[in-house]
């Protein structure tokens, strides 16, 4: 019965998402971006370029490295032009940069969800000491100046440590975990008072079994909603850290790293600034719109609001019809 109920709830959420055109457009845009990132080697092969080869003959060294040609050196061989100063292909670097941005953001979100849910459930189901310790820890995480601490932490990590993994851990453990843990703790404390949770406890179920079978399914909707908010924030965080020079290191491309390089070229080659900034904006906007639609679809009050609206319209139509019939009868 529980599986049937969960399946019916999932179908209802999908119906609500399909009913929102903005959600469908955002999902289509994100699907194209994911394909853009996954197909990076194929697209690079189609163009005949790679992300690391320098083309000194395509930049004007006398002018400081400005790309030759219009729109940053756009040509049949370089579809979106070349990078100022180095002549590396911009299109291929954008493709591989999408991989870094999406992988880091998704990986950090997974870490945030796992750690935040674990801390929140443990605080709610544990003893007073565990609740107090986790409460103070989440207070520190919420009040922590993330960017300054992340810059200091990444600066002391050995250079041979994989930077994408480091970004996933730093962003995932320091950005948003405290807020998610607080949310999960509050929701779990409310769920503990419900009859079916009390019945599971009285039947001798362990805390782990109650959390796994009774609490976690009920926590799915608020956790997914919060994760949908964290995901675009993580993309911006990765871009900001790469922009400050503590993200992925060259020659590995990243949208934030490209923006950092572009700050000295925005007058001579504005396209080199516009392209990664536009992709970052589109990606963040699409995740934000989809997250908002998902929040609305998962809101259990959404169905009642829609039903009240329909009932109100039907009621008004019925009253208008009855008034018209009374006028006809009086005539």
Query: pLDDT truncated to tens, each residue of the chain (331 aa)?
Result: 455 555 666 788 788 888 889 999 999 999 999 999 999 999 999 999 999 999 989 998 888 888 998 888 899 999 999 999 899 999 999 999 999 999 999 999 999 999 999 999 999 988 899 999 999 999 998 888 888 888 888 878 888 888 899 999 999 998 889 999 999 999 999 988 888 787 877 787 777 888 888 888 889 888 988 998 899 899 989 888 888 888 888 888 889 888 888 878 888 888 899 999 999 999 999 998 988 888 888 775 554 443 444 444 444 545 545 555 555 555 4
The predicted model scores a pTM of: 0.82
Give the 3-state secondary structure of residue 171. helix
Tell me how far CA of residue 81 lies from CA of 61, 75, 95, in angstroms.
16, 7, 14
Find the length of the chain: 331
Q: What contacts 45, CB < 8 A, 6 or more positions away?
A: none
Report d(CA 66, CA 75) in Å as an integer. 15
**Which residues is 59 bridged to in the sheet?**
67
- Taking the CA atoms of residue 66, residue 70, residue 73 and residue 78 in that order, the dihedral angle to the nearest 10 degrees is 170
């Amino acid at each position: 019965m529980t599986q049937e109920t969960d399946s019916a709830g999932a179908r209802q959420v999908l119906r609500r998402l399909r009913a929102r055109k903005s959600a469908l457009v955002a999902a289509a845009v994100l699907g194209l971006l994911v394909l853009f990132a996954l197909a990076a080697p194929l697209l690079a092969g189609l163009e005949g370029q790679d992300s690391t080869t320098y083309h000194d003959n395509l930049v004007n060294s006398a002018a400081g490295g400005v790309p030759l040609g219009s729109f940053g050196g756009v040509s049949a061989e370089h579809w979106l032009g070349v990078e100022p100063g180095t002549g590396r292909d911009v299109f291929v670097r954008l493709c591989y940069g999408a991989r870094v941005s999406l992988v880091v953001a998704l990986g950090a979100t997974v870490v945030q969800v796992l750690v935040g849910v674990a801390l929140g459930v443990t605080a709610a189901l544990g003893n007073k000491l565990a609740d107090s310790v986790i409460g103070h820890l989440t207070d520190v995480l919420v009040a922590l100046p993330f960017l300054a601490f992340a810059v200091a932490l990444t600066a002391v990590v050995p250079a041979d440590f994989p930077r994408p993994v480091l970004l996933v851990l730093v962003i995932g453990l320091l950005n948003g975990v405290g807020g998610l843990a607080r949310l999960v703790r509050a929701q779990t404390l409310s769920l503990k008072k419900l009859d079916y949770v009390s019945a599971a406890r009285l039947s001798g179920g362990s805390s782990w079994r109650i959390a796994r079978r009774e609490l976690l399914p009920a926590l799915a909707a608020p956790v997914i909603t919060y994760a949908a908010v964290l995901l675009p924030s993580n993309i911006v965080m990765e871009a900001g850290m790469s922009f400050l020079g503590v993200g992925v290191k060259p020659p590995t491309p990243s949208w934030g790293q490209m923006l950092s390089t572009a700050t000295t070229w925005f007058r001579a080659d504005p396209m080199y600034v516009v392209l990664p900034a536009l992709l970052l904006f589109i990606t963040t906007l699409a995740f934000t719109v989809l997250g908002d639609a998902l929040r609305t679809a998962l809101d259990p009050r959404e169905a009642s609001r829609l039903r009240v609206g329909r009932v109100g319209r039907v009621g008004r139509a019925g009253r208008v019809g009855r008034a018209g019939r009374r006028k006809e009868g009086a005539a």
